[in-house]
Amino acid sequence: ISMSAWKFVEGSVTQMYAPWYGWMPGLGESTWWNYSQDELDELTKKALNGMCLNEQDYWDTLREAVKLSIQEAVRVFAVTELSYYPTSKRTTGIAYDVGSGLGSRWVFQTAQTPDNKLKVLQYSSVGSLFMGAFNTIDGLEDVYANYLYRPVRDYATWSHPGEGVPIPVRVTFDVEKKFHFEGEDLIGELDVPSDYVVYDSAANEWVEVGSGVKAVSKVTYDYLFSNWHNGMPMTMEDIKYCIAHVYEWSYEDEEGDKYYNANYGMGTSETLDRIKGIKFVDEDTLEIYGDFQHPASDDLIADYFAFWPDLPWPIYEASDYLVAIHGPKSGTDYDYSDREGTTQFDLLVEMHVEDMREALQRFWQKGQLPPAMDITVDEAKAAYQACIDWIDAHGHCFISNGPFYMDLYDPANMYCVLKAFRDPTYPFEPEYWTERLTLARSVIDSVDIPASVKVGDDIPVKVKVTNKIEYPDAREEPAEVAYVDVYLKDASDNVLYSGKAALKTAGNFEITIPGSKTANLSAGAYTVEVKAAYKEGGYPDLRKTQVILSQVTEESPTPTPAVTTAAPTEAPEEGMSTTTIVGIVVVIIIIVALVYFFTKKK
């Protein structure tokens, strides 16, 4: 079930079909039988990791992956489900998602009610609020948990609800790229400075990359920090810990490494392997060099390498202790995954929370310092204490940095209360996203082209477009802003010409396919395809119209009738008329016949 609109679907195709990602039979668990399909893995890794030559290659690769997946028929989608979300009249202003309706995190951030209270009911088939464990390493795999998880945490970027492309949330970014392909190999041309670092999870330290390292792209991130929900300020040290923690749990540094989760590493290691260097520039700026490009959008490059922590580092330190060692109070053997013989860790379960508090208390007493960070003992103790105080006040360990915080969790009554985080350090006012999110689409009303033209002639194309605004204020208007692309295609769907139609008057766009593009074509039927989108790269409306190209017939001059002069008839010899000659011939014939008759009789 999609919980957000995504225009580019390599993630969904990989998740639902590719064995390497860990969502197919076996789930990547090493002690179980696992479905494998090398070609599917190769195709999805190519699309997901920026190895496509261009946008056409990108879509062709995904089509081939889906085709192969259907043929394999391990996971088959038999129906398209249309979900209906009832809302009361007291709730207005919802920025719904074109992919998931009210299943989007934007709903909580934009909904308005007279008393500023939003009541939400959800149905779970297992008779509880969630179907799985509430942990961020190998939990949160059901939609019900994510309905509450996503509004409570923030993200570096998130998908626009109407356009399906990543937009900045807690970072702004700038992308550089320089590369070429050698065959199917992506070759970076950017020089990575030698003092940039990556995290060595075996040595538990940041190490310089050294000289001679090249990269495909570079992303500069500027962070919008705030306080955590427990009142502690976020800093670049949180980003350091976040990145190091991903490295730590993604790689098995030695056999039996307790700080490694295979299911988690299946997805994250693909990104980490492509990071060529990191620099923590100042208190809110980060630079990452990496081997990734996306043929359709630089925003997807920024999204690919973006890091943003969802939990304070002391919570991770404590939960790692529970999983790698045991519960310090209960003695329980925990695991981030659902494995036989262990208890899957959950940030909300009472016994787990008690063990977490005990671990945090011990860390406070020791003044434990994480190796990836550059902080003092006093700073570490303050962070531990803030988490302990939160647990005492709220009874759970889900502390984050988003627009809402989890004030109360009551599993017995399947009840949860989220409250708006109105801390003055939080960067977004309540109306911020309502004012900036627009749900709109351009609709093609008509396409006017000649039914037929001669080979070598221009093809004039006139398009009428209406913009339908659905959020924040519903209205329709002749399009004054739209991106109208026109293509001429042959019967095999090959593009013979493409261009952008120009706005002439409100709602009217025009373009002429030049005769030079039709001059060398054969006579026959061709397709003029028109796409109109409200924003460049947005979801387009599509219209196809046929045009007939006819062969040019050269006009020949009217032939002048040939004047034939008849040869003169030879005059009969003088003294003998034609009648006389005919009579003589007849007499001769009669005489011959009589002679033959009498001779025969004898």
Mean pLDDT, 10 residues at a time, the chain of 602 residues: 69 91 85 92 91 90 94 89 85 86 89 94 74 91 88 95 90 97 93 98 97 98 98 98 98 96 91 97 98 93 97 98 96 94 96 98 97 96 98 98 96 92 96 90 96 96 96 92 96 94 97 96 96 87 96 56 37 46 49 46 44
Distance CA 336, CA 323 (A): 7
Q: Which two tokens stand for residue 242?
A: 């976040």
Three-state DSSP at 412 gives helix
Dmax (CA) for the chain in angstroms is 160
| CB-CB contact of 362 with 328 (8 Å) | yes
Q: Which two tokens stand for residue 230?
A: 């427990």
DSSP state of 97: B
| CB-CB contact of 219 with 174 (8 Å) | yes
Nearest to 447 by CA among 468, 425, 465: 465
- With respect to CATH, is domain 438-550 assigned 3.90.1150.10? no
| CB-CB contact of 234 with 226 (8 Å) | yes
**What CATH number matches the domain at 83-420, 3.90.76.10, 3.50.50.60, 2.60.120.260, 3.40.50.300?**
3.90.76.10
| CB-CB contact of 305 with 216 (8 Å) | no
Q: Sort strands 285-290 and 275-280 into parallel, antiparallel or unpaired.
A: antiparallel
What pLDDT is stored for residue 36 in this prediction? 94
| CB-CB contact of 74 with 25 (8 Å) | yes
Distance CA 335, CA 326 (A): 9
Query: Which run of H or of E encompasses 517?
Result: helix 515-518
Q: Which two tokens stand for residue 151?
A: 């509004």
Domain ranges for the chain, please list them: 1-82, 83-420, 438-550
| CB-CB contact of 315 with 324 (8 Å) | no
In sequence order, the 6+-apart residues with CB closer than 8 A to the CB of 407 are 394, 417, 418, 419
Query: Three-class SS string for 165-192?
Result: CEEECCEEEEEEECEEEECCEEEECEEC
Nearest to 188 by CA among 291, 278, 319: 291
Distance CA 367, CA 317 (A): 12
What pLDDT is stored for residue 35 in this prediction? 94
Phi, psi angle pair for 504, to nearest 5°: -100, -55
Q: Rounded to whole angstroms, what are the CA distances from 53 to 13, 272, 295?
A: 19, 22, 7
Residue 200 is which amino acid? D
What pLDDT is stored for residue 3 in this prediction? 54
Query: Which run of H or of E encompasses 222?
Result: strand 217-223
Instruction: Tell me, yes or no, if the two domains 83-420 and 438-550 fold the same way.
Output: no
What is the pTM (predicted TM-score) of this model? 0.81
Other CB atoms within a 10 A radius of the CB of residue 456 amount to: 16
What pLDDT is stored for residue 5 in this prediction? 66
What pLDDT is stored for residue 392 in this prediction? 98
DSSP state of 205: E
Three-state DSSP at 484 gives strand
Q: Which two tokens stand for residue 298?
A: 């630089």
In sequence order, the 6+-apart residues with CB closer than 8 A to the CB of 205 are 199, 371, 372
DSSP state of 239: H
First CA to last CA distance, the chain = 120
In sequence order, the 6+-apart residues with CB closer than 8 A to the CB of 466 are 442, 443, 445, 476, 477, 478, 479, 507
In sequence order, the 6+-apart residues with CB closer than 8 A to the CB of 478 are 465, 466, 467, 506, 507, 508
What pLDDT is stored for residue 555 in this prediction? 54
